[in-house]
Amino acid sequence: MSLIRRLFRDPFRAPAGPAGGPGKWTLLALLLGAGAYVVFRSVRAELVDFEVYRTAAARVLEAQPLFRLDDGHYQYKYLPAFAFLVVPFAAMPKALAEILWFAATVGLASVFVWMSIQTVPERRTPDDRLIWIGLLLTGKFLVKEIGFGQTNILFGIVLLSAMLAAQRGRHVTAGVLAGVGVFVKPYAVVFLPWVGWMSGAIALAAFLGAAAIGLLIPVPIYGWTGNLDLLRGWYEVVTTSTAHTLLGHENISFASMWAKWWAPQAAPLALAAVTSAAGLALVGAAVARRRHAVGPACVEYGMLAILVPLISPQGWDYLLVMALPGYLCLVDRWKETPWPWRAAMCAGLFVTSFAIFDVMRRPLYMFVMNSGIPTLGALALLACLLRLRWRGLA
């Protein structure tokens, strides 16, 4: 009984010791990736989101319009420049392209986990333990990310690198990376005020320069007029494909929460705008208190990464994979967390990380997901990160 009580009192504590060497974790990542690929291909015909990218890239090769409403649910919704990045995958056989993309995603996931651990300031928990806890807490999101062939991990690496660059005084690099992030996922703009605050006008100028270059990438193939048509097509697809996704059970955005509570006719986007502004204001206030924080990028990145799926009207739950640094910081500060906040953190993790069909079974799972509860769970985790900053713990 004493062992059980000790584990419950401090479940994340482990004996101090060196983490496994890079060779050990590289081999583990390769083995897990190979096994995951076999499993995924046995139950899924293709990497559905990756196929959206390949389709857009194939259209680039023929200078065809990228944005088509008749693509249905799987419309290409990224800025045109990203399709150019995927062109090499469109020029090779589909089977080979999927294997390479899958392998790259697994590799990036390994890099992201490592980066996330390194950002946790003054770690109390051994690296090995943090790795496994991080994989446990984001396992649901990683499975979806890898299985769909998504790019959220790439996006997370780019934005986390931008924030670390700003923290180290590399302001131009921070601005350029933030600009690149917009073309991987347009909602990188959520991070822009932070980059501007930390790095000033030079970072904003670098951001604008990177964004301008990215917007002009299609010109050599599509021409000036064709490029403007692409941007208009992107805007039309993004603004017309939102309403029918708000009631999707995996959508955890503020807009989806309000739509599920008060129905779409209750102007959920207006309510979401107010809620989003309040969330950004709280994070801004937390950033303003960073003076005495050691390695403040971890908590600040974690807060903004949680806000991304909440602010974006098409904020799917697996976007929370990007918030891994924040999750790890919460776990690492477990001993300094009083019981009410521990309860809030555990509740938030349960309804986000462990809202899984096979865990909850269908009635409870559908109730949780269709009631906007994961949105409240994400807000609970955001509140826990805000508390760390207010208490000067990170």
Per-residue pLDDT of the chain (394 residues; tens, 9 = 90+): 443 344 334 433 433 333 444 455 555 555 555 555 555 555 556 788 999 999 999 999 999 999 987 777 788 999 999 999 999 999 999 989 998 998 888 889 888 988 999 999 999 999 888 888 888 898 889 888 888 889 999 999 999 999 889 888 899 999 999 999 999 999 888 998 888 888 889 999 999 999 999 999 999 999 999 999 999 999 988 888 777 788 888 999 999 999 888 865 556 778 888 999 999 999 999 998 888 787 888 999 999 999 999 999 888 999 999 999 999 999 999 999 999 999 999 999 999 999 887 778 878 888 989 899 999 999 999 999 999 999 888 8
Q: Is residue 204 in a domain?
A: no
pTM, rounded to two decimals: 0.87
> Residue 376 and residue 279: Cα distance in Å, rounded?
13
CB neighbour list of residue 17: distance below 8 Å, 6 or more residues apart = 126, 128
Reading the block at residue 59, the tokens are 């259209």
> What pLDDT was estimated at residue 35?
57
Token readout for 178 is 């933030």
pLDDT at position 3 is: 34
- Domain count within the chain: 1
Q: What is the pLDDT of residue 8?
A: 34
Contact 390, 286 (CB under 8 A): yes
User: Helices 373-390 and 297-311 sit at what angle, rounded to 10 degrees?
Assistant: 160
Please check whether residue 313 lies inside any domain of the structure: yes
Q: What is the pLDDT of residue 275?
A: 94
Question: Torsions phi, psi of 316, nearest 5?
Answer: -75, 150
Its domain, for residue 312, covers: 246-394
- On whether residue 322 sits in a domain, the answer given is yes
So what's the pLDDT on residue 309?
95
Q: How far apart are CA 254 and CA 372, in angstroms?
A: 9
| Residue 184 counted as domain residue | no
Q: What is the pLDDT of residue 18?
A: 38
Residue 198 lies in a domain: no
Within a domain: residue 90? no
Does residue 341 form part of some domain? yes
- Beta-carbon neighbour count of residue 24 at 10 Å? 11
Give domain status of residue 87, yes or no. Answer: no
